[in-house]
Structure 1
Amino acid sequence: MKGIICSVFLTVAINGAICAQTSKPLSAPFGVNLAGADFGANVPGVFNKDYTYPTGADLDYVKSKGLTLIRLPFLWERMQPVLGESLDAKEVERFTEVIDAAAERGILVLPDMHNYCRRKVEGEWLIIGSERVPVEQVANAWAKIADLLKDKKNIWGYGIMNEPHDMPAENSWFTIAQAIITSIRSKDSKTAIVVGGDSWSSAERWPYYSGNLKNLNDPANNLIFEAHIYFDENSSGSYKYSYEKERATAETGIVRAMPFVKWLKANNLKGFIGEYGVPDNDPRWLVTLDKMLDYLQKNGVNGTYWAAGPWWGDYHLAVQPKNGIDRPQMKVVSRYPSAK
């Protein structure tokens, strides 16, 4: 899809732009996850010890590859340390600094609450909707975040929750998502809301676990549904074994994407693949990645690769350059700036 020119702001964005009048995405840009703010077993933890945020250099690298979208994971506990209270001023400063730096570079941002439908309370991860973490509290947090970001013109959408899973009832995630949508719309009536799926947002399992999400109500009619795809045998993205032992083929990504894409088309809905990634240790993984991205592009579904960011080190899925040298996966990722 060609870049769309607006009268304000991102008029020269390479492949994606939004108009200030609507705040709706007018294209389907591909990009990467810039992770780091979601890091650390110690939650909330200490900034630049347990977790960090991407830098201007990280954004420059993304832009240099012709990519114009970043998914920006963050943790609820750090953004709002006390349930129901104000957002943390210092964390907001770090968070919005990245968003503003991205805007200066013509890069769109998808803020992603990377909490798996849980919150850490006194050292214990509790499911949202439980007695100590009621649904109203995550809705409250998102109202505050939307109020903070609603006037920023490079917000591609609000990623309301990363990979909900193992919920106590079939409609648990639906109920939570609807509460968040309603709360966001009380502050921002226009910006897209990006809704992940149940069962780790699996694209392959989407119709069974997340098919009910088509019934969510958004007054703005601006929902984007987010699925995830990995190519190892258990779809976890851990890639513990060789290409052969993971039973991968060149078509694995297409096969796993198809149930989600068909569901989108059957229900006339917009979709996005928020995570996918492959190891750097076998070129056959690159073929599988390339074929899936080609399939997504042809079907108008964009996505963000997992992952880049300053603290990945030798992580075998990372596309963060090492010693100034591109990782092999980036050759494939950069060939797909936007969906058609």
Structure 2
Amino acid sequence: MKNTVFVLGLIAFMLGGCSDKVKEVQSSGEPFGMNVACADFGSIFPGTYNKDYTYPTDSDLVYWQKKGFRLIRMPFKWERLQYELGGELNQYDLNKMKDFIVAAQKRNIKVLLDLHNYCRRFKDGGHRIIGTHGITNEHYAGFWKKIAQEFMKYDNIYGYGLMNEPHDLPDSLSWFCMAQLAIDSIRTVDSENTIVVGGNSWSSAKKWLDASDTLKHLKDPADNLKFEAHCYFDKDGSGTYKYSYEDEEGTPEKGVELVSSFVAWLKENQLKGFVGEYGIPDNDPRWEVTLDNFLAYLSENGVNGTYWASGPWWGKGAAMVVPTYKGGQEYPQVRVLEKYLTTRK
């Protein structure tokens, strides 16, 4: 019986995806969008531009603009924007970022600047946690002040993403304290733009109440914070989808189940939320149903997000990734994503 219900639901979903009536385009809600990753690539820091990493350009926006997306999350690395702790910003990389912001601005697309550092910085030959190896909270907060000074004048900055996926910090160090100092530092120069605060423990939506509940006590003099969770639907939540739908314990409602406690937390504390990463593989249409239900739930609850991921340098091994094209053929995930351009609220 369950299989029959699922098949009927899948047929309805697939037929619905072919109809323009299914597209949910609401002008008043918050925008859904896409991660455009490539500036965060490479294991060598700062690395060589166009060899170890690159920056997205206007050409990476064309397809998504045509699909109706108006939000891009752009990962970047601290070490590439500021070679020396406390030093001046690297103008070469800074200009590459600004070029992308301007290109997005011309296409009426907003950009979330995502510091993709996992609460770490490359130093002394390894990725060192902020608060160790001479990397202080003040270095981190000061960096964000410099970034805010450079980008506050652009009217298409969706927000400053303080840190992608903080994780595995020792008990002696606090992501809450790092985030609060960064908020305070940004607000000395920019009192308007949204500050987006990622959750602890890889920003896991599932673990939000245990790992990130204290973030509700952060103070922003501008009262303009958003809280960012991540949510993948495979068994370990990594987004690698190594096994079959059955082995990954996939269900149509799994995404909703994983993110519901985060959404409830937002409502209970009257806070604004965002899901910065979610994604599915392209090898089983049942995952598309899971994604569709997930996005419908977020939309109904006024929580937007950005899909992981697109960008010019992705290889074939990244199963959950959506580059612009797959050998000239559109990825099946896009059919789901383009139904949700903004939230209903």
State TM-score, norm by structure 1.
0.91
Matches within 5 A, 1:154-173: 154-169=156-171, 172-173=174-175
Is 2:325 the counterpart of 1:284?
Answer: no
The residue type paired with residue 103 of structure 2 is A
1:22-75 CA-to-partner distances (Å, cap 9, x unmatched) read xxxx84100000000000111211111111111212111110111100000000
SS of equivalent to 2:86: coil
Q: Which runs of 4+ in 1 moved over 4 A?
A: none
Q: Return the index of the structure with the highest Cα Rg.
A: 2
Equivalent position of 1:235 in the other structure: 237
Q: Which runs of 5+ in 2 are unaligned?
A: 1-24
Equivalent position of 1:70 in the other structure: 72
Please say if residues 274 and 304 of structure 2, whose CA atoms lie closer than 8 Å, have aligned partners that are also in contact: yes
State TM-score, norm by structure 2.
0.90
Equivalent position of 1:311 in the other structure: 313
| Cα 1:131/1:121, change in 2 over 3 Å | closer
Matches within 5 A, 1:231-270: 231-270=233-272
Please say if residues 29 and 302 of structure 2, whose CA atoms lie closer than 8 Å, have aligned partners that are also in contact: no
Greater alpha carbon shift after TM alignment, 50-59 vs 314-323: 314-323
Please say if residues 140 and 183 of structure 1, whose CA atoms lie closer than 8 Å, have aligned partners that are also in contact: yes
CA displacement at 1:292 relative to structure 2: 0.3
The residue type paired with residue 334 of structure 1 is E
1:209-252 CA-to-partner distances (Å, cap 9, x unmatched) read 10000000000000000000000001111111111111111111
Please say if residues 142 and 183 of structure 1, whose CA atoms lie closer than 8 Å, have aligned partners that are also in contact: yes
Question: How many Å separate the matches in 1 of 2:49 and 2:26?
Answer: 33
- When the two chains are superposed, the root-mean-square deviation of aligned CA atoms in Å is 1.3
Please say if residues 30 and 302 of structure 2, whose CA atoms lie closer than 8 Å, have aligned partners that are also in contact: yes
Greater alpha carbon shift after TM alignment, 234-243 vs 110-119: 234-243
The residue type paired with residue 183 of structure 2 is I
Equivalent position of 1:337 in the other structure: 341
Greater alpha carbon shift after TM alignment, 308-317 vs 145-154: 308-317
Question: How many Å separate the matches in 1 of 2:283 and 2:208?
Answer: 29
Equivalent position of 2:208 in the other structure: 206
Equivalent position of 1:123 in the other structure: 125
CA displacement at 1:334 relative to structure 2: 1.0
Question: How many Å separate the matches in 2 of 1:15 and 1:305?
Answer: 18
Equivalent position of 2:327 in the other structure: 323
**Matched residue count:** 318
Question: How many Å separate the matches in 2 of 1:286 and 1:74?
Answer: 29
1:150-171 CA-to-partner distances (Å, cap 9, x unmatched) read 1100001100100000111287
Please say if residues 318 and 327 of structure 1, whose CA atoms lie closer than 8 Å, have aligned partners that are also in contact: no
CA displacement at 1:124 relative to structure 2: 1.1
1:274-326 CA-to-partner distances (Å, cap 9, x unmatched) read 00000011111111111000000000000000000001132221221123321
CA displacement at 1:262 relative to structure 2: 0.2
SS of equivalent to 2:256: helix
Is 2:99 the counterpart of 1:97?
Answer: yes
Aligned-residue sequence identity (percent) comes to 54
SS of equivalent to 2:61: helix
Question: How many Å separate the matches in 2 of 1:277 and 1:187?
Answer: 35
Is 2:45 the counterpart of 1:43?
Answer: yes
1:70-118 CA-to-partner distances (Å, cap 9, x unmatched) read 0000000001111101110000010110011000000000000000000
Equivalent position of 2:10 in the other structure: none
Q: Which runs of 5+ in 1 are unaligned?
A: 1-13, 17-25
Equivalent position of 1:7 in the other structure: none
SS of equivalent to 2:157: coil
Equivalent position of 2:139 in the other structure: 137
